[in-house]
Amino acid sequence: MMRHPEREMKDNETIEAILKQSQVGRMATINQNGYPVIKPVNFLYRDGRVYVHSSLKGEKAEDIRRGPLVCFEVDVPIAFVAAQGTACKANFYYRSVILKGKAALLDDRGKKLEVLQRLMEKYQPEGGFTEIQEEVLARTAIIEISPDEITGKENLG
């Protein structure tokens, strides 16, 4: 339960827009020593799922092979409001979305290519990039996160 229920973002269209437009997400996994680790990632939100580009040999992929539970977060910082008087009056306006779910490494070559193409279109909309080469595809992981829960929170003043 959210401590400030008045800040809960209930509009699914706004939540989806934030997920589609955010440039950097943060994905949390549990590492081999049992510690939670969080990493900034490039990602794609599409059809209700999050897709993350990774290496097949990286820590993220290894963590997911051990256990599929992940947390994913994006935020939109809006403004810091300086304190007038007591420090407790300082504030920060923002929007954030947290997704809890299960991650899997995609095996389907066609789906991996599609996601990589969409990622390139997101991050380089002007084009100019070439096709993904087979040797690159062979060492690239695409992590698909299927959400069990998505929550949004905002403080807009």
pLDDT in tens, 10-66: 889 999 999 999 999 999 999 999 999 999 999 999 999 999 999 999 899 999 999
The reported pLDDT for the residue numbered 104 is 97
Residue with tokens 């100019």: 128
Please, are residues 142 and 112 in contact by the beta-carbon 8 Å criterion?
Answer: yes
| 150 or 7: which leads in pLDDT | 150
Structure tokens at 108: 């389907």
- Distance between CA atoms of residues 68 and 102, nearest Å: 5
* Phi, psi (degrees; rounded to nearest 5) at 90: -65, 150
* Count of helix runs (H) and strand runs (E) in the chain: 4, 8
Residue type, position 119, single letter: L
Rounded Cα distance between 63 and 57, Å, is 10
Cβ atoms of 77 and 123 within 8 Å: the answer is: no
Asked if residue 98 lies in contact with residue 64, where contact means CB atoms within 8 angstroms, the answer is no
Phi, psi of 139 (to 5 degrees): -105, 10
Q: How far apart are CA 64 and CA 121, in angstroms?
A: 26
Which one has a higher pLDDT value, 105 or 89?
105
Q: Is the pLDDT of residue 2 over 70?
A: no
Side chain identity, residue 32? Q
Q: Which domains does the chain have, with CATH numbers?
A: 5-151 (2.30.110.10)
Q: What is the pLDDT of residues 90-119, one digit of tens each?
A: 877 889 999 999 999 999 999 999 999 999
The rounded distance, in Å, linking the Cα atoms of 136 and 93 is: 41
